[in-house]
Amino acid sequence: MPNNKTLPNYAPGLEGVIAGVSAISKVDPAGDELLYYGYKVSQLCERSSFEEVCYLLLNEGRLPDKKDLENFRGKMSSERNVPAEITDYLCKMPKEAHYMDILRSAVSLFAHFDKQTEDNSKAAELAKSIRLLAKVPTVLAARVRVLRGNKPVSPHQSLGHAANFLYMVNGEEPAPDFAKALDVSLICYAEHGFNASTFTARVAASTLTDMHSSIVGAIGALKGPLHGGANEKAMYMLREIGDPAKAEKYIRDKLAKKEKIMGFGHRVYKKKDSRAPIVKKYALKLAEKSGEKKWHEMSDIIERVLMAEKKLFPNVDFPAAVLYYLLGLPIEVDTPLFVVSRISGWCAHVMEQRADNKLIRPDQHYTGPEAREYISIDKR
């Protein structure tokens, strides 16, 4: 058998392969800065809101003016309610059910109630994107409350997206710095080119299936620990370490066993993930306020050891895990919050794929047997 790595036109994991054309985001080689339609994510975090970024992504790179943004916000908040049948059904699922599975099922169920599910026109796709963005947090927050033994709280129509999520989880309006910290993390998670989940969404969209099916597939892909699932794994690790004094030995032992440290490394970034320091800055503000500093003390030690030993840097999942923990959210919702945000990028990619569609159907290198005679069952 040939060495697969040396086959012509083959790159394992499609690494370095250009699998499509997109105008939505890029990593600027000067400084590894992530750009959404040319706008620096660092600037969007400081100066805009998650809703504004959603508008930008869903409207082919156009920043909204005040009126556009007001309308968009209004549409999003008016779509926050979820049919009671769906919330009741999902909240009755076994308490061990993974939150990502709950969200995957939620989007599937939304399709049955959405009158435009089968309509792939641009206007319908935009309307469905807004509905998905608006409704997924409602289901997620309801599930958190029910597992905590509380009744779901209806969405607050006049709060922003991030603040409303915290409101629906806690039943009270969040402090502005809590809402801002969550908002910033959502902006950072919104979009990142042809990552595994987005590519999954595009592959599905290329068959001309519906938007909901594309997003269901993307959620499944994001769940994996090599992708979105890394944030919750990173927080479980920090909790397991528990004490900054134990962090260095813990990490060195893992490296000696050739185990991966979740929340470090990236396929695209080679020197740093520029989103990580942004999210860390807001997580540090929360830590300052609460006095809970040990998570960052441990993080700093782990970052130092991984840089020294493996030249590895934290990706956005590592500080996001700490930020969500400091917001008082259960660790299990870390990856679902990635969904809450990334729906914006996925939907933008589904629409972009449709605009110039070609079925995505790559080739393979076959390594099985050549044609052979069938042997009847009694002769085997």
Catalytic residues: 266, 317
Q: Shortest distance, CB of residue 276 to ligand ACO, whole angstroms? A: 10
Taking the complex as a whole, the smallest distance from the CB of residue 238 to ligand ACO amounts, in Å, to: 13
Q: What 3-state DSSP class applies to 178?
A: helix
Q: Name the minimum Å distance from CB 196 to ligand ACO.
A: 8
Please state the closest distance from residue 72 (CB atom) to ligand ACO, in A: 26
Work out how close the CB of 106 gets to ligand ACO at its nearest, in angstroms, rounded to a whole number.
21
Nearer to ligand ACO, 145 or 233 (CB): 233
Q: Whole-angstrom Cα distance, residue 148 to residue 169? A: 10
Give residues in contact with ligand ACO (CB under 6 A).
Answer: 13, 226-228, 230, 260-267, 310, 312, 315-317
At residue 210, φ and ψ (nearest 5 deg) are -80, 165
* H or E stretch covering 166: helix 161-170
Residue nearest to ligand ACO (CB): 265
Q: Which of 46, 316, 278, 44 is nearest to 35 (CA)?
A: 44
CA distances from 19 to 11, 195, 208, 265, 345 (A): 12, 11, 18, 22, 17
CB atoms within 10 A of CB 245: 12
Q: Which two tokens stand for residue 213?
A: 């099916």
Read off the DSSP letter of residue 6: G
What residues contact residue 80 under an 8 Å CB cut-off, 6+ apart? 134, 135, 137, 138, 155, 157, 164
Q: Which residue number, 142 or 321, has a Cβ lying nearer to ligand ACO?
A: 321
Q: For residues 60 and 309, which CB has a smaller minimum distance to ligand ACO in the complex?
A: 309
Long-range contacts of 179-182 (CB under 8 A, 24+ apart): 180/282, 181/282, 181/283, 181/285, 181/286, 181/323, 181/326, 181/327, 182/323, 182/324, 182/327, 182/337
